Each structure stands twice: as C-alpha cells, then as structure tokens.
Amino acid sequence: MSNTRKKIPTNIITGFLGVGKTTAITHLLRNKPEGERWSVLVNEFGEVGIDGALLKDSGAFVREVPGGCICCVAGLPMKIALNMLIATTKPDRLLVEPTGLGHPEEIINTLTGEYYDGVLDLRATLTLFDPRRLRDARYRDNANFRDQLAVADVLVANKMDMCAEEDLAQLDTWLVQQQDQRPCYRVVQGTIDPRWLDEPRRVHQLQHPGAHQGARLSRRSSSELLNARVQLPEGKDFILRENRGQGFYSCGWMFRRDWQFDFNGLFLWLMGLNLVRIKAVINTDQGVHSFNAEEGVLSVNKLDEELAQDLPDSRIEFIDASPLPIAQLQDNLLQLLKFLEGK
C-alpha cells in the first residue's frame, strides 16, 4: 500500500484593508463541500487578533497570526504556524488570508517552495478589491495594492452594490488596460463561488517586487507564533497593543469577558469616528456584537448566543493612516463601560 498522501489544495485570499476578505472567507466556508474539513491561517496587521472570533462559527479550523504580516516572516515562523495548523486539523483545503497591508509574493514563494512540495497544492490566488478604490490615488498608487491585483489568478470586484456609474466605468477601463485573460467576477458581500478556488495559477509580473522589502511590518518570533492567539493575562482588566508600518498605525484593546459596554453609546461613538478601519467583537448590555467600519461606514451584527458564550474576552482594533489618539480612545472606551456582567 502506498503511503503517499494527497497534497492539500491551498489558496491565498488577499486584498487591501477593508475590502471584505473575512466576509468572503466566511461565505466560502459556509458553502464548502459537505463533509470536507477546511482550515484557515489568518494574519492581521493589528496586534489583538479579531478575525479569528468572526470566523469562529464558520465550521472551519482557524489559526491567527496577529501583529505584522506573515509575508515578513515567511521563513521558519510561518512554517511553524502552518505546520501546527496542518498537523492538528488535517484539512481537505487550506485558506491563507494575509493582512490587507501584506505583499503576497513571499507567501507564494514559501507555499510553492521545496519545504511544502509534497504537502501543499497551491491553486488560484484570489484578490478582492473595491472598484471605488481604483479612482483613489491613496490606493491606486500603493505598491502593495497594485501587486495584490497583479498577483491575482482570479480578480473579485467586491461591494458592487456601493459603486456609482463612474466607478463601474473606471473598472471597465482598468480591466481593458490589464490586457490579460484573468477572470474578474463582480460580487456583493463577498459571495465567492468555491469553484473559483480551482482556477489555474498563472505567471505574473509584479510591478513593485522590492517595495515590501523596504517597508516591512513588525516581525514576530517563532515563540510568538507558537502562541499567536493573544490572551488577556490573568488578573488584568484590559491590555493595549500597538503596531505601525507602511504609513499605517493600529491600536487595539482586549477587555475582561464579564465587562459589558453600553451598546447604544458604543454604536454612536463608533459612527462618529472616521478612521480607515475599525473592527471589534464586544460584550454589550444588548448581547455580544461584532462592529466593522471602513472609512466611517459602520456595520453591526449580533453573534448567536452559543458563539458568544465561547468568546474569552472583548476586543476592538483601530487602524488609520495617521497616528491614533490612543489615550483619548481608551478614555472613551472606559466611559462606555456599563457594568460587570451578573453584578
């Protein structure tokens, strides 16, 4: 009998900050073939790690690598995180979600290198993008944004329901300029078809192959990746974590699970913040809710009770292109603390 194991189909799901990668992956996981076991390696720019909680009810096995980007640690530390995920979950498919500020080239090199030659079958890289950003120089001229698009085997134009006529015209013009045969699907709410994962991989010419080398995000040690799930230290009411890189800044807090925040006050406060990105999973006096905001547009969802009961803490993360007023943000958060659950 042969001991040869089937290679694990693997896909990179990439895209810039706020494009909807986590929503798209959630949709994929909920529409995966029945009976298959899928695993996800999630990387976030922020230090506290929130996407893992948002993916918790998806039926997949999720491992987080918060703080920095895994393409900056694509050697031994990334291999440790991948190896642990593969060994403990034995997936039928593996999805890798880099941070929105990450460059996919080194991840591709690692996944296709000799180390994983007999383990992983890297298939299509899917790049989500918001067509509205094609008219915004902050995004259009960003080296990582451009190479995330260049490296795509499948382009996914997300948030089509939010596009104006001029956005659609710009998208059509941009696609003609690409002069290639890559498929570009137009979707709403990240509704990726699982069949797109098996589109063929192509050879790509990156526009800025060295750009990420000179603007790396924070590196993480092997020991940090082994314990990548950030936890609130025993006896602490909350902790603050910060990160910066490539012109972006993040700060995030983790709070005791039994702390409840004023939902109405939190909602109104977050509505008034015009930051590049806000993500949170917070225990409130109206239940546990996820908050997701991009450029001042806020969406809120209540988590089901079973999932909410499993969350060990509340977490919130802010990302912006300017230094954040950390002391003021923390003071505002603490003012929204309503009471201790059960007290």
**Same structural domain for residues 169 and 105?**
yes
CB-based burial label for 327 (10 Å; 0-12, 13-18, 19+): exposed
pLDDT of residue 216: 43
Q: Does the pLDDT at position 213 exceed 60? A: no
**Same structural domain for residues 204 and 248?**
no
Per-residue model confidence as pLDDT tens digits over 182-202: 899 999 999 999 999 999 888
**Same structural domain for residues 188 and 327?**
no
- CA–CA separation, 213 vs 158, rounded Å? 28
SS3 category, 343:
coil
pLDDT of residue 22: 85
Q: Does the pLDDT at position 269 exceed 60? A: yes
For the full predicted model, state whether its pTM sits above 0.85.
Answer: no
Q: Is residue 96, in this structure, part of any structural domain at all?
A: yes
Q: Name residues whose C-beta falls within 8 Å of residue 263's C-beta, 6 or more positions apart in sequence.
A: 284, 285, 286, 287, 289
CATH of residue 280's domain is: 3.30.1220.10
CATH of residue 154's domain is: 3.40.50.300
Give the residue with greater pLDDT, 108 vs 238.
238
pLDDT band (50, 70, 90) for residue 77: low
Q: What angle do CA 136, 139, 141 make, to 5 degrees?
A: 95
pLDDT band (50, 70, 90) for residue 64: low
Token output for 48: 């506290």
Q: Does the pLDDT at position 222 exceed 50? A: no
State which of 154, 184, 215 marks the end of a domain. 215
**Same structural domain for residues 52 and 79?**
yes
pLDDT of residue 73: 46
pLDDT of residue 331: 95
**Same structural domain for residues 126 and 42?**
yes
Q: Is 198 within 8 Å of 9 (Cβ atoms)? A: yes
Count of the separate structural domains present in the chain: 2
CB-based burial label for 94 (10 Å; 0-12, 13-18, 19+): buried
pLDDT band (50, 70, 90) for residue 206: low
Lowest mean pLDDT among 124-133, 226-235, 270-279: 226-235
pLDDT of residue 38: 93
**Same structural domain for residues 269 and 141?**
no
Proportion of the chain above pLDDT 90, given as a percent? 38
Give the residue with greater pLDDT, 55 vs 65.
65
Q: Is 41 within 8 Å of 71 (Cβ atoms)? A: no
Distance (Å) of CA 183 to CA 54, 126, 157, 175 = 29, 10, 11, 10
Among 77-81, 207-211, 272-276, which range has the highest average pLDDT?
272-276
Closest by CA to 174, choosing from 189, 184, 188, 164, is: 184
Q: State which residues form the domain around 32.
A: 8-215
pLDDT of residue 165: 95
Per-residue model confidence as pLDDT tens digits over 113-155: 888 888 999 999 999 999 998 988 878 888 888 888 888 999 9
**Same structural domain for residues 143 and 258?**
no
pLDDT band (50, 70, 90) for residue 166: very high
Q: Does the pLDDT at position 210 exceed 70? A: no
**Same structural domain for residues 29 and 108?**
yes
Give the residue with greater pLDDT, 105 vs 31.
31
pLDDT band (50, 70, 90) for residue 59: low
State which of 186, 215, 244 marks the end of a domain. 215
Q: Is residue 328, in this structure, part of any structural domain at all?
A: yes
- CA–CA separation, 81 vs 40, rounded Å? 11
Proportion of the chain above pLDDT 70, given as a percent? 78
pLDDT band (50, 70, 90) for residue 53: low
Q: Where are the alpha helices (DSSP H) in the chain?
A: 21-30, 51-54, 76-89, 105-111, 137-140, 143-150, 165-178, 222-226, 263-271, 305-310, 326-335
DSSP state of 208: -
- CA–CA separation, 66 vs 229, rounded Å? 8
Q: Does the pLDDT at position 12 exceed 60? A: yes
**Same structural domain for residues 126 and 68?**
yes
**Same structural domain for residues 301 and 189?**
no
Q: Is residue 247, in this structure, part of any structural domain at all?
A: yes
Lowest mean pLDDT among 139-153, 161-175, 209-223, 318-332: 209-223
CA 219 to chain CA centroid, Å, is: 17
DSSP state of 237: S
Give φ, ψ of 75 to 5 degrees: -95, -125
CA 84 to chain CA centroid, Å, is: 20
